[in-house]
């Protein structure tokens, strides 16, 4: 993998965005940002000619039980350079701005994250389930997920919460 975004530039970003933080001890620190400033930071990363992060290589979410964390791995083809951006989201109401506003190619990946992790992407053009059935009311990759029970009602496959064991 190419070189990581250097710390001088990270310092610059930190000066520009007051919610930006990173762990200076790490060799390749991810930059944490408040979700309100995420879109602004991403625009800067993509549009500043000295950064030019033109590829959203990977986009996913992790469930840490108390909170969700969105993880974006950005790659700059011009400078062969990496950066990881992370955003912490509230566990009760996880929502974040959609990156399709900057990288159109994140459409399916955001739909997948919505489907499996239940993150709500604001301003996404077509936020629907992509892998699970449309009438499935749960998000499988969450840590508290309990599989739903399939049932056929009037010829239609429906999904129901399991009765509690107690």
Partner 1 sequence: MAQTEKYVLNMGPQHPSTHGVLQVQVELDGENIVGAKPIMGYLHRGIEKLMESRTYTQCVPYTDRLDYVSAMNNNLGFCMAVEKLASIEVPRRAEYIRVICAELNRIASHHVFIGSLTNDLGSATGMIYAFRDREKILDLFNIICGARMTAHYIRIGGVAADAQEEFLKGAQEFVNYVPAMLDEYDRIFTGNEIFQARMKGTSIITRETALKYSMSGPNIRASGVDYDIRKIDKYGAYGDFDFEIPLGEQGDNWDRYIVRLKEVQQSANIIQQALDNMPDGPVMAKVPKVLKPPKGDAYHRVENTRGELGFYIVSDGSTKPYRVHIRRPSFVNLQALDSMCQGMLLADAVTAFATIDPLMGEVDC
Please, which residue, 16 or 135, has the CB nearer to partner 1? 135
Question: Could you list the residues that contact partner 1 (CB under 8 A)?
Answer: 1-2, 54-58, 60, 62-63, 71, 73, 77, 80, 84, 103-109, 112, 116, 129-133, 140-141, 145
Please, which residue, 8 or 134, has the CB nearer to partner 1? 134
Shortest distance in whole angstroms from residue 151 CB to partner 1: 19
Distance CA 32, CA 116 (A): 23
| Beta strand 67-76 pairing with 55-63 | antiparallel
Alpha helical stretches, state H, 17-152: 38-47, 107-117
3-state secondary structure 86-122: EEEEECCCCEEECHHHCCHHHHHHHHHHHHHHCCEEE
Shortest distance in whole angstroms from residue 92 CB to partner 1: 20
Closest CA to 86 of 73, 71, 76: 71
Lookup: tokens for 79: 């400078």
Please, which residue, 20 or 56, has the CB nearer to partner 1? 56
Please, which residue, 12 or 141, has the CB nearer to partner 1? 141
Shortest distance in whole angstroms from residue 15 CB to partner 1: 26
Shortest distance in whole angstroms from residue 38 CB to partner 1: 18
């Amino acid at each position: 993998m190419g070189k990581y975004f250097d710390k001088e530039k990270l310092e610059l970003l930190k000066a520009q965005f007051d919610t930006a933080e990173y762990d200076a001890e790490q060799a390749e620190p991810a930059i944490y940002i408040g979700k309100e400033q995420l879109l602004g930071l991403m625009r800067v990363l993509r549009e500043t000619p000295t950064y030019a992060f033109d590829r959203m290589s990977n986009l996913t979410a992790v469930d840490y039980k108390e909170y969700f964390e969105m993880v974006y791995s950005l790659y700059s083809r011009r400078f062969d350079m990496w950066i990881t951006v992370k955003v912490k989201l509230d566990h009760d109401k996880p929502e974040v701005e959609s990156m399709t506003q900057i990288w159109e190619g994140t459409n399916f990946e955001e739909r997948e994250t919505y489907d499996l992790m239940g993150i709500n992407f604001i301003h996404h053009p077509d936020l629907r389930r992509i892998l699970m059935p449309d009438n499935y009311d749960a998000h499988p990759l969450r840590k508290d997920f309990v599989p739903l029970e399939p049932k056929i009602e009037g010829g239609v496959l429906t999904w129901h919460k399991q009765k509690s064991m107690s």
